Structure 1
Amino acid sequence: MGLTSALNTSLGGLSLNETSIDVLGNNIANAGTNGFKASNVLFTTQLSRTLSVGSRPTTSNGGTNPRQVGLGALSASIRKDFTQGSVTNSTSPSDLAIQGDGFFILDGPDGQVYSRNGNFELNSQSLLTNQSGFKVQGYGVDEDFNLVTTTLADIEIPLGDLNVAQATQNVQIGGALLPTGVLGTQGSILSTANLTDAGNANAAITGATLLSDVEASIGTPLFTVGETLEFTPNKGGRSLDPLTLLVTGTTTAADFADFLDRTLGIQNGSGIPNDATTGAQPGVSVTAGGAFQVVGNTGTVNDIAITIGNITSDGATVSLPFTKTETSNGESAITDFVIFDSLGEPVTMKMTSVLESRSSNNTVFRYFMESADDNDGDIAVSTGTITFDSNGNVTDFTPNTFGISRVNTAADEMDVTIDLSDISGISSASAGSTLKLTLQDGSDPGTLASFVIDETGIINGVFDNGIIRTLGQVTLARFSNPQGLLEFGNSTFQEGVSSGPPFLVTPGNFGAGTIRAGSIELSNTDVGRSLVDLIVASTNYRGNARVISSVQQLVDELLVLGR
């Protein structure tokens, strides 16, 4: 019985040490496998053969201890070492390493698997995958680049294919305005000769007169139905972009005056004072005598000039001369700048300012915003005031927003916030007044050129126009018992019956660890320790084999005795 028991016990020992050597061999073989987690075998004793349970002490005997003979050992478990492996830099921005607990989530052919190996790359569909083609899972983004955290999705990084533009939302203007200059009290005044209405017995025209009935001299109409008028005036010494007007059977003189007004970008209302000479608000109107009269805004940079040839009809000059009787005055400045709509198309803006009022403790400049790219048919955009204190500091500017219509384009309507607080109210007579664009946050179209993944897993796409957009977020999984995971090959694990379900978290939260981009986690195999353990396991294996050899010799002796 004893020899047979020894044989079985040693046989079990051989099997256990074979398992241990097998595990150690696997650890050493994967010493170069990124993200590999080493294992170790835990032994436990088997049942023992009890020869005697012992006895209690008596008055005449001190008692005896139990006598038991062990029946060998069992493999209690093969335990994974999930401690952090060394993290080293790589040459690829798509390589990721987890510092802390947690697993990458991958979509494989048989469902979701989990891995610590962050050797990822982009495939031909711009999806982030591992070396076996399993797709990395995380949160995607909607059309506005906002994270969608309701469901996991493939991580897509379309380098060279994704194009975006950024609409301007904020504009900042700087410069310096001269507070001691000439106050703006009058604008340009231009008018035509009195015109007659052929449809009303050649009386003086009114706003209701049909444009086709307007005559400079009796029997000579200035306009005909069906022609297209183009107006290219001069303002502040620069030609304005032309607008056009189709003359129909219902087009009136008031419509023509409005056409001139919109092309000139004259602004009125909103607290703009009346012209000092005419007492009228700036604009284009039909006078009581039947003339078209232009009253411009104040400021030398807003001075209007209209000459023969500025109004044409299908390319031919319209003989409607304007006589200038007043020139715009007032200390002023002008600047041109470009902003961008939601499609990245440039929108050219012009801003002018004029000294409007001055008192003992403040100075007020009025500003005008214009744009020929404003699609509402009027280049005038907005007007407001800038107030400076006695130290030249801006104390107030209003309004602080302006809108640009893009109704004739596929772009969104624009609502832009303007900051004028950096303008100085101190300047010299020699320097005069100046304005300049210091900041605008829009951009023209750009293509995704590169990407950066931060420690929270957020993927930031960098476009060649300087825009940065969120493209997604890598998510991680945690398990209550990672020892319960099943190895699935390709450096991946599957959910096991004892691992518990995955708990999905974003990096840096709930103990899931953070992510290092451009890095990789190495195997945590300790080769030196494994080699020492291998020596111990080999020694134990030889010891058990020696026990078997000894039992064989004893059995041989017994057989000799039986002869």
Structure 2
Amino acid sequence: MGLASSLSTALTGMNAAETQIDVLGNNLANSQTVGFKSSDVVFANQFLQTLSLGAAPTGGNGGTNPRQTGLGVQVAAINQNFKQGTVEISSSPSDLAIQGDGFFQVQGGQGEKLYTRNGIFRLNSSNELVTSTGNRLLGYGVDDQFNLRSTELVPLSIPIGTEAVAKATGTVNLQGTLTAKGDVATTSKIVQSTVLGNNSIPRPSGSAVNVQSAAAPFNTSVTLAHTEGGGGTHAEGSVYQYRFTYLDANGTESMASEPLTVTVPGGNASADNTITLNNLPAANSQYSQVRVYRTEPGGSDFFLAGTAAAGGSFVDTDSSSSTTPLDNNGLTGNYTYMVTYYKSGEPESRPSPLLGPQSVVNGRIYLSNLPTPPAPPAEGGYPAYDEIRIYRNLTNDPNSFYLVDTVPPGASYTDSKTDAEISNLALPGNQKVNLDGPAIDSNTLLVNVITRDGLDYSNPFIPGDLSFTARKGDRLLETKSFTVTATSTVQDLLGFMKDSLGIVSDSGDSTNPILSSLNQIPGEGGTIQPNAYISNGALRFVSNTGVDNGVTIDLTSFRLRDANGTVTTPNLGFGTVQEGKGQSAVTDFIAYDSLGLPVRMRLTATMESRTDQQTVYRWYADSADNIERGSADISVGTGLIYFDGNGNFISASNNVVAVDRTGLPSTKPLQFSLDFTALSGLAADKASLAASRQDGSPPGVLTSYVIGEDGIIRGVFSNGISRDLGQIRLARFSNPGGLEQRGQNLFAQGINTGLPIEGGPSENGLGSISAGALELSNTDVGGDLVTLVLASTQYRSNARVITATQQLFDELLNIRR
């Protein structure tokens, strides 16, 4: 080969030096490129010229080595250095650095998968994490419940300001002291309405009834006739006195006339005289009959002698006296009447409006045209009344009405009974009028319910929308609505009100039933179960025991809007008939359903029992936002809480609250547990209860995010909730040096890399991720500069070889001279 080979050999050295300088220049140019991995040039000698293969040792020669001349250098490899670069803190939470092996996986322009160590990521207009060159970062996405979907890699997005989330309450933590001191809750507060009447039973109008002074007869028209031997028994010379009264069809009489003195004439010794009274007091519009009263001969007391037609004659033949005395007691005062329909064994109707008044002085009062009861309908509904009852007030008590008499319908009646006679209720048959009339029952239609204010009656309910707002433990309850229809009954109203008040009758636990209350209402006794009742025509609500469970229904608790928009305030006259008793505590708090809608809650605890070993409280949970189809029930749970003798919480018979959410797309029911473990049963003057924490939250929007070392992207919402938004997945290769560089800090899988090993950070030999940090270029500037000097020296040295060879060629050409 000679000198010619030295030229080619030197040229390979220059080419190798150029390659190394190019690589070193690229390293130094990217010394500030995030995630850049520097490269090293590996040289290998090129082909060799063998002059001799050498010889093996012999007995006379020690052997010779091969004689070979090198023909230059070649670039055997350009190896990338994947050693860890320096990690530097960044101000952006989306800047990421990998500490250890692995690459971020990104999406290429054609959808292919590429790899990079450059961790500068930003959000694009679609809230996707992308590289500086627009490549989307790949990882696991999440479903609509924020659960990681590990089936495929997708571009990761962080929807700041657009994604919303809520969390349903799962647990409510309670704290406070449910003291062992104070009264055990044995007594319920009981509220009761006025007596409510039933308007479907007819009431006498009384409009046609006449009330006037009863006419009294005069004796001035009466003429006398005597008959001797007429078969009478009146002795001659006997002196009698006569008085006359008018008689009505019911056998009641008017006041008597003045006395008429009659002397039996003499002249005949026989005692068979008769006395004939002609022209008796005349009939009038009130009476058609007259009663005749007479004394014994020379006497002063009048006894009934007989009855005759008014204006007619009466023949008195018998001198003996009857046993029926004259009642000539008169009434003096200002009297008013009312009448009712009556049938023995049936409820009496409401009384008519007031009849009268009528003033009288030592007289009697005549009532005529008394009403006739209507026939009951074919389907029933009220009795077939067959009598009329008459009631009258007293002279000294105009507001109390007492029974005077019972008469047939349509009859007339003369009132002669004194105040003392009718007002003595100890006498059989005497009674006061029932102003309320027939009381309601559970089947009474609401539109037939009536209330009484004095002697005025009104219908509090008409078809429309009824709203009801009450109090419980002096705290206002949520307004509930009830639609009054023509078919709504009292029982419907009772059930609605009980549900609205949150009165619990059944604990749902047969081993721990709801505690009954002592009944301390005057005239009653024993115990009574918390519930809604009808008591003698009044609506009665028995609260659960304890002071804070006591319900209050005031004058404005009801509001009724009719079809025309007119609003009235039905007043049922509720009042307290028994106060509640017992140590209790109450707290209000807000829970949240699966949509993040607030659910108002109230928790009340009352001391149910106390023994030598333990204290037991019962909790009641109410929710104004309990939405149950066809019900206004606010009660959503109850149970018992047990404390030992040291005041420590032992257990609870139930700790689950279930709030119905009918009509809403929320998960239903909303169920959450009550954590009583922080409650104390130690002694305190007053029980206390508070909800210290609950884990639900209202809707919130994504405001920020953090990326953990495990690659999980966790979004932080404005309501304080954090949710997984995705996970960054890394990949590594058995031979990362085999990756194909694509520029822009990107690599593609090469034929000599092996398959990518994918996983989460810190899995499968992969490194971890540091958020808010960047991996800097691993270029060794100092070392590369030294190597650059060596490469340039190599280049110059090889250039000198070419120069020397050229000089030798020149000398060779000069030999011919």
TM-score of Structure 1 vs Structure 2, range by shorter chain? over 0.9
Q: 2:382 aligns with which of 191, 201, 204?
A: 201
Distance (Å, rounded) in 2 between the aligned partners of 1:19 and 1:2: 27
- Note if contact 2:189-2:547 (Cα within 8 Å) is conserved in structure 1: no
Radius of gyration: which is bigger? Answer: 2
| Equivalent residue, structure 2, for 1:24 | 24
Q: Secondary structure at the match of 1:284?
A: strand
* Amino acid corresponding to residue 713 of structure 2 in structure 1: I
Matched, 1:507 2:761: yes
Matched, 1:399 2:687: no
Q: Secondary structure at the match of 2:518?
A: coil
Q: Secondary structure at the match of 1:77?
A: strand
* Amino acid corresponding to residue 367 of structure 1 in structure 2: W
| Equivalent residue, structure 1, for 2:151 | 150
Say if 1:181 and 1:561 are closer, same or farther in 2 by CA, change over 3 A. same
| Equivalent residue, structure 1, for 2:60 | 60
| Equivalent residue, structure 2, for 1:328 | 580
Aligned-residue offset at 1:225? 5.3
- Note if contact 2:114-2:747 (Cα within 8 Å) is conserved in structure 1: yes
| Equivalent residue, structure 2, for 1:73 | 73
Q: 1:276 aligns with which of 509, 518, 539?
A: 518
Distance (Å, rounded) in 2 between the aligned partners of 1:380 and 1:293: 19
Distance (Å, rounded) in 2 between the aligned partners of 1:35 and 1:273: 74
Aligned-residue offset at 1:554? 1.1
| Equivalent residue, structure 2, for 1:240 | 477
- Note if contact 1:254-1:285 (Cα within 8 Å) is conserved in structure 2: no
Say if 1:190 and 1:60 are closer, same or farther in 2 by CA, change over 3 A. closer
Alignment of 1:69-468 (within 5 A): 69-110=69-110, 111-192=112-193, 193=195, 195-196=197-198, 198=200, 200-201=381-382, 204-216=439-451, 222=459, 224=461, 226-270=463-507, 271-277=513-519, 279-287=527-535, 289-314=536-561, 315-376=567-628, 377-413=632-668, 414-429=670-685, 432-468=686-722
* Amino acid corresponding to residue 389 of structure 1 in structure 2: D
Aligned-residue offset at 1:408? 2.9
Q: Secondary structure at the match of 1:5?
A: helix
* Amino acid corresponding to residue 46 of structure 2 in structure 1: Q
* Amino acid corresponding to residue 128 of structure 1 in structure 2: L
Distance (Å, rounded) in 2 between the aligned partners of 1:281 and 1:227: 32
Aligned-residue offset at 1:536? 0.9
* Amino acid corresponding to residue 611 of structure 2 in structure 1: S
Identify which range, 481-490 or 223-232, moves more after superposition.
223-232
Distance (Å, rounded) in 1 between the aligned partners of 2:169 and 2:788: 67
Q: Deviations over 1:480-509 (max 9, x none)?
A: 211110110111111111112222110011
Q: Deviations over 1:326-349 (max 9, x none)?
A: 111111111111122223222221
Matched, 1:5 2:5: yes
Identify which range, 437-446 or 37-46, moves more after superposition.
437-446
Q: Deviations over 1:279-319 (max 9, x none)?
A: 332111234x4432211111111222223332232231223
Quote the RMSD (CA, aligned, Å).
1.8
Distance (Å, rounded) in 2 between the aligned partners of 1:354 and 1:104: 61
* Amino acid corresponding to residue 449 of structure 2 in structure 1: V
Distance (Å, rounded) in 2 between the aligned partners of 1:155 and 1:3: 64
Q: Deviations over 1:218-259 (max 9, x none)?
A: 996735552222222222223322211111233222111001
Aligned-residue offset at 1:49? 1.1
Q: Secondary structure at the match of 1:421?
A: coil
- Note if contact 2:35-2:118 (Cα within 8 Å) is conserved in structure 1: yes
* Amino acid corresponding to residue 117 of structure 2 in structure 1: R
Distance (Å, rounded) in 2 between the aligned partners of 1:18 and 1:504: 38
Q: Secondary structure at the match of 2:608?
A: strand
- Note if contact 2:460-2:571 (Cα within 8 Å) is conserved in structure 1: no
| Equivalent residue, structure 2, for 1:519 | 773
Identify which range, 311-320 or 97-106, moves more after superposition.
311-320
Q: Secondary structure at the match of 1:152?
A: strand
Distance (Å, rounded) in 1 between the aligned partners of 2:196 and 2:448: 14
Distance (Å, rounded) in 2 between the aligned partners of 1:79 and 1:31: 17
Q: Secondary structure at the match of 2:766?
A: coil
* Amino acid corresponding to residue 576 of structure 2 in structure 1: K
- Structure 1 gap ranges (5+): none
Q: Secondary structure at the match of 1:535?
A: helix
Identify which range, 255-264 or 438-447, moves more after superposition.
438-447
* Amino acid corresponding to residue 647 of structure 2 in structure 1: G
- Note if contact 1:213-1:221 (Cα within 8 Å) is conserved in structure 2: no
Q: Secondary structure at the match of 2:624?
A: coil
Aligned-residue offset at 1:261? 0.2
- Structure 2 gap ranges (5+): 202-380, 384-437, 508-512, 520-525, 562-566
- Note if contact 1:198-1:219 (Cα within 8 Å) is conserved in structure 2: no
* Amino acid corresponding to residue 634 of structure 2 in structure 1: I
Q: 1:534 aligns with which of 788, 796, 800?
A: 788
- Note if contact 1:197-1:209 (Cα within 8 Å) is conserved in structure 2: no
Distance (Å, rounded) in 1 between the aligned partners of 2:479 and 2:593: 22
Aligned-residue offset at 1:325? 1.6
Distance (Å, rounded) in 2 between the aligned partners of 1:14 and 1:305: 105
Give the TM-score of the pair, scaled to structure 2: 0.66
Aligned-residue offset at 1:87? 0.5
Q: Deviations over 1:135-163 (max 9, x none)?
A: 11111111111111111111111222222
Aligned-residue offset at 1:412? 2.5
Distance (Å, rounded) in 1 between the aligned partners of 2:382 and 2:473: 40
- Note if contact 2:46-2:70 (Cα within 8 Å) is conserved in structure 1: yes
Aligned-residue offset at 1:194? 5.1
Structure having the larger proportion of residues in helix? 1
Distance (Å, rounded) in 2 between the aligned partners of 1:540 and 1:194: 118
Q: Secondary structure at the match of 2:27?
A: helix
- Note if contact 1:356-1:366 (Cα within 8 Å) is conserved in structure 2: yes
- Note if contact 2:177-2:684 (Cα within 8 Å) is conserved in structure 1: no
Alignment of 1:25-40 (within 5 A): 25-40=25-40
Give the TM-score of the pair, scaled to structure 1: 0.96
Identify which range, 147-156 or 199-208, moves more after superposition.
199-208
Distance (Å, rounded) in 1 between the aligned partners of 2:5 and 2:108: 49
Identify which range, 461-470 or 218-227, moves more after superposition.
218-227
- Note if contact 2:757-2:764 (Cα within 8 Å) is conserved in structure 1: no
Identify which range, 379-388 or 51-60, moves more after superposition.
51-60
- Note if contact 1:222-1:319 (Cα within 8 Å) is conserved in structure 2: no
Distance (Å, rounded) in 1 between the aligned partners of 2:584 and 2:62: 118
Q: Secondary structure at the match of 1:516?
A: strand
